[in-house]
Amino acid sequence: MTLTVPEGLEGAIRVDVAPDFRLDESAPGEQRFVFSYTVTVHNASDHSVQLMARYWKITQGSGKVQEVRGKGVVGQQPLIGPGQTFRYTSRAILDGPVGVMEGAYTCVDAASQRPFEVAITPFRLAGPNQVH
């Protein structure tokens, strides 16, 4: 089921992601590569929106695909007011030094209570000395 974006919110919710390889938490010899990623959700609309759920698709360099679904992000379902941003940092653990993440947030327009989805553009996770 595709959720359409309510009027006035088209293109107004933007998600930026900044990934980072965590050498201090990784153990390459044990095929454990830890990445943090900082997500910033920008609300450029005149509406408050609440981030209700997340979906991530993590594709590892080996081709293995993991899908993650859940309520909110980092234990929260933040309400993001007009012109505000919400930022959080989370982690992904891969079995190799490269991968790609993409996904979507399910949000609700606080005024109309209409749910809609915001796509998260694919971004690369790459350890040191990997091609970006």
Q: How far apart are CA 114 and CA 107, in angstroms?
A: 8
Q: What is the pLDDT of residues 19-55, one digit of tens each?
A: 999 999 999 999 999 999 999 999 999 999 999 999 9
Q: What is the pLDDT of residues 76-126, one digit of tens each?
A: 999 999 999 999 999 999 999 999 999 999 999 999 999 999 999 999 999
Closest CA to 34 of 21, 47, 43, 44: 21
Task: State pTM to two decimals.
Answer: 0.90
For residues 7-30, b (16+ Cβ closer than 10 Å) or e, as one string?
eebeebbebeeebebeeeebeeee
Closest CA to 35 of 92, 114, 99, 101: 92
Three-state DSSP state, 28: helix
